[in-house]
């Protein structure tokens, strides 16, 4: 009997040795680097780089990265990083939890999140550091996700241009769908992950607490509003002659931004200590280090696969247009998934959609892409995954795609024509 047990012991140990060996392998940084190098070698060896389409895709990858760096990093991302750092350092954590936490009144929490995102009216990548800031400060998952969706999706000028360029019905449908989705997606995410989120927000060790050094709520609000004003007006885009008052503000955007800059400088000098400003800069740096590598990598992958509007990459736009020419379930899902992977800079979705509709895209899938595209992108999904984890990110993406496709089907049945 004892011999039998002795014989079983090595066998039992052998059955657990394999996972242990894999774990030990991945625990070594050199082994992980070696695996990454092997992956790069295999890609370099097997991909037909000399093929015209692959060569064009590689060029589009770098060209999209160049466009993104010139058009979005300095005026969009850098101010957004500073705002995210200020959220994590200057805002009172209990106030954030009170208004945006999982136990906050639902109407208040989701209204605040949606309105805040609407005021910013930024692209899917610029909203990410702001989302990370309020989420790390203690906002509930639902309100934080509502903010994440509403920022790019409920863009007032984009909705106005959609109505002017693509038709009043499509513009109204986009506006109504985006507002409803901001609430519905946030509430569903909160309900699905309710237990996990309550554990997160009740664990004090998850959050950093900073003393406000006796500042009033109004003084903090002035500081935050001045930074938001800089971000908004630095990126204030012309309407192409469609909206007069919007173009008036665009002509004065640099002066308005400078005014907000002066207000910010005065508030920082008068109301903040040097140690707080140092913590703010450190937090801003940390957000940039966490986000930028994934963001740049995602932009290059998106450029390699889909390219810039009107330029050939690995997946031509004509293929997408050919798959979305009807109001079928498949067409709407394809449009929503394509929108979730493509990167749309602010306002660029309107001329892109104009070209796709002209190429034969049905009105239903057009709405599906408009509802999914601005709020998601491959770079955004990579960064959301680093913050929320793959499971929550997958659920969020599925909700956006499913609701967008459903809205497209309903709209196509009522108003659409091939």
Rounded average pLDDT over 198-227: 70
Write down the pLDDT at residue 202: 65
Instruction: Let me know: does 142 contact 135? Beta carbons within 8 Å.
Output: no
60 vs 281: which has the higher pLDDT: 281
Question: Residue 382 falls within a domain, yes or no?
Answer: yes
pLDDT at 336 over 50: yes
Question: Which residues, 6 or more positions from 237, have their beta carbon under 8 angstroms from its beta carbon?
Answer: 157, 250, 346, 347
Task: Specify the higher pLDDT residue, 95 or 342.
Answer: 342
Q: What is the number of domains present in the chain?
A: 1
Query: How many residues are there in the chain?
Result: 418
- Would you state the pLDDT for residue 360? 75
pLDDT at 415: 83
Instruction: Say which range, 15-29, 99-113, 127-141, 338-352, has the weakest mean pLDDT.
Output: 15-29
What single DSSP character describes residue 237? Answer: -
User: Does residue 346 have a pLDDT over 90?
Assistant: no
**Residue 409: which domain range?**
55-213+272-414
Confidence of residue 228 (pLDDT cuts 50, 70, 90): confident
- State the pLDDT at residue 266: 95
pLDDT at 322 (0 to 100): 76
> Is residue 99 domain-resident?
yes
Considering just the CA atoms, what is the radius of gyration of the chain in Å?
A: 24
For residue 404, what pLDDT is reported?
94
- Residue 393's pLDDT is what? 93
E strand or H helix that includes residue 403:
helix 390-414
Q: Mind listing the pLDDT tens digit for each residue in 272-308?
A: 888 889 989 998 888 788 778 877 887 788 788 777 7
Highest mean pLDDT among 13-27, 138-152, 227-241: 138-152
pLDDT in tens, 231-247: 878 877 666 555 566 67
Residues 43 and 75: their CA atoms lie apart, in Å, by 35
Task: Give, as one character, the DSSP assignment of residue 70.
Answer: I
How confident is residue 2, by pLDDT bands cut at 50, 70 and 90? very low
In a domain, 267, yes or no: no
Domain assignment of residue 331, yes or no:
yes
Indicate whether 7 pLDDT > 50.
no
Instruction: Check residues 372 and 198 and name the one with the higher pLDDT.
Output: 372
| Residue 325: φ, ψ to 5° | -85, -5
Residue 380: which pLDDT band, with cuts at 50, 70 and 90? confident
Do residues 374 and 161 touch, judged by C-beta distance below 8 A? no
**Chain centre to alpha carbon of residue 214:** 34
pTM for the full model? 0.67
Q: Give the distance from CA 243 to its chain's centroid.
A: 27
Of the listed ranges 73-77, 153-157, 205-209, the least confidently predicted one is 205-209
| Residue of higher predicted confidence among 70 and 1 | 70
Statement: residue 211 has pLDDT above 60? no
pLDDT-derived band at 401, boundaries 50, 70, 90 = very high
Cα(148)–Cα(128) distance, rounded to whole angstroms? 7
pLDDT of residue 391: 92
2-6 average pLDDT score: 45
Mean pLDDT of 180-185: 91
pLDDT at 402 over 90: yes
**Residue partners of 294: CB distance under 8 A and separation at least 6:** 379, 382, 383, 386
Residues 177 and 367: beta-carbon distance below 8 Å: yes
pLDDT band at 213 (very low <50, low <70, confident <90, very high): low
The pLDDT, as a whole number, for residue 13 is 46
Asked, for residue 1, whether it belongs to a domain, the answer is no
Q: Do 134 and 144 contact (CB within 8 A), yes or no?
A: yes
Work out the mean pLDDT of the chain and round it to a whole number.
79
Give domain status of residue 327, yes or no: yes
* Residue 120: pLDDT band with limits 50, 70, 90: low
Contacts (Cβ under 8 Å, ≥6 apart) of 227: 79, 82, 83, 86, 260, 264
Task: Identify which has the larger pLDDT, 157 or 109.
Answer: 109
- Are 368 and 336 in contact by the 8 Å Cβ rule? The answer is yes
Does residue 159 surpass a pLDDT of 80? no
* Helix (DSSP H) and strand (DSSP E) numbers for the chain: 21, 0
In a domain, 14, yes or no: no
Q: Is residue 299 part of a domain?
A: yes
């Amino acid at each position: 009997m004892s011999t039998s047990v002795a014989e079983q012991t090595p066998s039992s140990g052998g059955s657990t040795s394999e996972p242990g060996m894999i774990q030990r392998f991945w625990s070594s940084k050199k082994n992980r680097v070696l695996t990454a190098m092997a992956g790069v070698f295999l890609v370099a060896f097997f991909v037909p780089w000399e093929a015209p389409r692959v060569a064009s895709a590689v060029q589009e990858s770098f060209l999209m990265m160049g466009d993104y760096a010139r058009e979005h990093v300095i005026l969009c991302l850098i101010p957004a990083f500073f705002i995210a750092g200020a959220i994590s350092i200057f805002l009172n954590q209990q106030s954030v939890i009170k208004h945006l936490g999982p136990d906050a009144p639902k109407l208040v929490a989701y209204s605040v999140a949606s309105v805040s995102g609407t005021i910013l009216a930024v692209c899917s990548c610029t909203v990410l550091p702001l989302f990370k800031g309020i989420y790390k400060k203690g906002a509930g998952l639902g309100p934080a996700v509502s903010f994440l969706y509403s920022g790019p999706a409920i863009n007032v000028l984009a909705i106005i241009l959609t109505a002017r360029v693509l038709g009043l019905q499509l513009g109204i449908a986009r506006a109504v769908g985006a507002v409803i989705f901001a609430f519905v997606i946030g509430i569903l995410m909160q309900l699905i992950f309710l237990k996990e989120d309550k554990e997160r927000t009740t664990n004090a060790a998850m959050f950093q607490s900073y003393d406000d050094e006796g500042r009033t709520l109004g003084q903090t609000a002035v500081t935050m509003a001045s930074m938001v004003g800089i971000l908004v007006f630095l990126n204030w885009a012309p309407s192409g002659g469609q909206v007069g008052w919007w173009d008036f503000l665009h002509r004065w955007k640099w002066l308005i931004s400078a005014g907000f800059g002066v207000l910010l400088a005065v508030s920082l000098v008068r109301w903040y200590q040097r140690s707080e400003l140092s913590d703010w800069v450190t937090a801003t740096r940390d957000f940039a280090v966490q986000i930028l590598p994934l963001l740049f990598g995602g932009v290059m992958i998106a450029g390699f696969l889909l390219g810039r509007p009107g330029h050939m990459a690995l997946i031509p736009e004509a293929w997408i247009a050919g798959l979305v020419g009807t109001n079928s379930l498949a067409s709407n899902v394809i449009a929503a998934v394509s929108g979730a992977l493509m990167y749309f800079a602010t306002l660029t979705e309107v001329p892109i959609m104009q070209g796709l509709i002209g190429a034969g895209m049905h009105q239903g899938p057009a709405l599906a892409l408009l509802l999914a595209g601005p709020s998601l992108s491959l770079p955004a999904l990579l960064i959301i995954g680093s913050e929320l984890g793959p499971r929550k990110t997958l659920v969020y993406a599925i909700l956006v795609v499913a609701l967008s496709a459903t809205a497209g089907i309903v709209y196509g049945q009522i108003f659409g024509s091939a």
